[in-house]
Amino acid sequence: QVQLVESGGDSVQPGGSLRLSCVASGYYVSTYNMGWFRQAPGKERERVGCINTYGITTVHADSVKGRFTISRDNAKNTLYLQMNSLKSEDTGTYYCAADQDWMRLVRQQARAWGRGTQVTVSS
């Protein structure tokens, strides 16, 4: 099983940018599909986007399309989330998850989760 540690969360003004990172450790990290999920206060957790072992991404939240980009660097065992044009509704805790089963990941049933990193967008 892999272990995941997120970083990069911060407080920014609307329109700003952030890049989140998730470092994975363990065996065969490159064989894991990975994804970003977020949870806003008082709301259910939602998928932001997932990326498979081949680097093909799927963004699930319509609200982030065109603004957020997911990528991975298998040489560094790191998953990234580039967030541009941030809005107040992007505020929340962002979690990294990984699973060798794509559907488990997409369904938020991944067997590996990080502890999250806080993103606050406010003027």
State the pLDDT at residue 90. 97
- The first and second tokens of residue 104, run together, are 């488990």
- DSSP at 73: E
pLDDT at 89: 95
Q: Supply the pLDDT for residue 55.
A: 85
Q: What is the model's pLDDT at position 23?
A: 98
Distance CA 99, CA 88 (A): 30
Residue 97 has a pLDDT of 98
Q: What is the pLDDT of residue 5?
A: 98
Q: Which residues contact 15 (CB under 8 A, 6 or more apart)?
A: 85, 86
How distant is the alpha carbon of residue 25 from its chain centre? Answer: 16
Residue 11 confidence (pLDDT): 98
pLDDT at 69: 93
Extract the residue ranges of the chain whose pLDDT is less than 50: none
